[in-house]
Each structure stands twice: as structure tokens, then as C-alpha cells.
């Protein structure tokens, strides 16, 4: 482990919770001025998850750590388990679910590191303001677009 990660540099942040999802940033690209963003994400069984989306300015790579996360990439289902990786290229529509009984934990890498924890904090605030009800879809879409994510048209 590098000194930067262990001593709180590189934009390392405390846990961010969005509903049942838990994220822990290891490298926060925008905060650290790094070329990538890296975070762990835990997805409990049946958790409410973000809508399908794409991003045109960065790629995303998902590495399975624990359990199995079901990704849908351009309409194809892909199960990502421990030690397995899925590359999500720019512009590809994707989403994820965890229909299995065990919590899934993955490592996500964003390259270049232009998306960071601030995006997830803004989404968490909108979800929290919903007080258990459905979050404001227009507000979420506005945050997504401002941070370079495009919600899938329904």
C-alpha cells in the first residue's frame, strides 16, 4: 500500500452510503489530481440500484471481490464474481443488480479519473432527502448530466 493511500492523501474518503449501497474511495481522482478514480462498492442482495446509464468521457472497469454482481452491458447480462473483471467502454449503456442472497463487493476503476466522490455525495443527498420514498428523478438526472453520465432514455 502506498503512503498516499494509507495516510489519507489521494482523495481517500470515508464511506458514502446511497440507500443500501456503500462506497469507499481508495483514490478520488478529482480531489487527488490522479489519472484514475478507484473505489470499493458493496451491493446487498436486492438493493435498489441506479438506472441504466452511459458516460462518454471515461471508461469504467469492475473487478469482483466478493459475491456476484450482475451487470447488464449493452443489453447482455454478465455476472462478475471474485477475480473477474468487466470493462465498460465509453458510451456503453450499463447497469447492475444483485439478485443473489450474498452481498456483492466490487472494485470500480474510472479512467481517466474525472468522476469522483462528489458525484456520489450529491446523489446520496438526493436519495436521503426522499426519506424512504422515491428520489427526485429530475434532480438525479441533472446531477448525472453535470458529472458526465447520461441516463438511459426510458
Cell 438525479 sits at which residue? Answer: 140
Beta strands 94-97; 59-66: pairing state: unpaired
Give, for all 154 residues of the chain, the pLDDT tens digit.
233 333 345 556 679 999 999 999 999 999 999 999 999 999 999 998 888 999 999 999 999 999 999 999 999 999 999 999 999 999 999 999 999 999 999 999 999 999 999 999 999 999 999 887 889 999 999 999 999 999 997 5
Q: Do 94 and 53 meet the contact criterion of CB atoms below 8 Å apart?
A: yes
In CATH, what number is assigned to the domain containing residue 78? 2.60.120.10
Q: What's the rounded Cα separation, in Å, for the pair 69 and 63? A: 10
Residue 149's alpha-carbon distances to 6, 138, 139, in angstroms, are 30, 14, 13
Residue 133's pLDDT is: 84
Q: What is the span of the domain harbouring residue 82? A: 3-151
Report how many domains make up the chain.
Answer: 1
Count the helix, strand and coil residues of the chain and give each as a percent rounded to the nearest 5: 20, 40, 40
Residue 48's pLDDT is: 87
Amino acid at each position: 500500500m502506498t503512503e498516499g493511500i494509507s495516510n489519507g492523501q489521494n482523495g481517500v474518503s470515508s464511506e458514502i452510503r446511497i440507500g443500501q449501497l456503500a462506497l469507499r474511495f481508495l483514490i478520488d481522482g478529482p480531489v487527488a489530481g490522479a489519472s484514475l478514480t478507484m473505489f470499493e462498492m458493496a451491493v446487498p442482495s436486492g438493493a435498489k440500484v441506479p438506472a441504466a446509464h452511459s458516460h462518454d468521457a471515461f471508461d469504467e472497469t469492475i473487478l469482483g471481490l466478493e459475491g456476484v454482481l450482475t451487470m447488464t452491458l449493452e443489453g447482455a447480462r454478465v455476472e462478475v464474481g471474485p477475480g473477474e473483471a468487466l470493462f465498460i467502454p465509453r458510451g456503453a449503456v450499463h447497469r447492475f443488480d444483485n439478485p443473489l442472497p450474498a452481498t456483492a463487493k466490487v472494485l470500480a476503476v474510472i479512467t481517466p479519473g474525472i468522476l469522483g466522490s462528489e458525484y456520489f455525495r450529491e446523489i446520496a443527498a438526493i436519495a436521503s432527502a426522499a426519506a424512504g420514498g422515491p428520489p427526485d428523478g429530475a434532480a438525479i438526472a441533472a446531477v448525472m448530466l453535470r458529472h458526465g453520465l447520461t441516463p438511459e432514455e426510458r
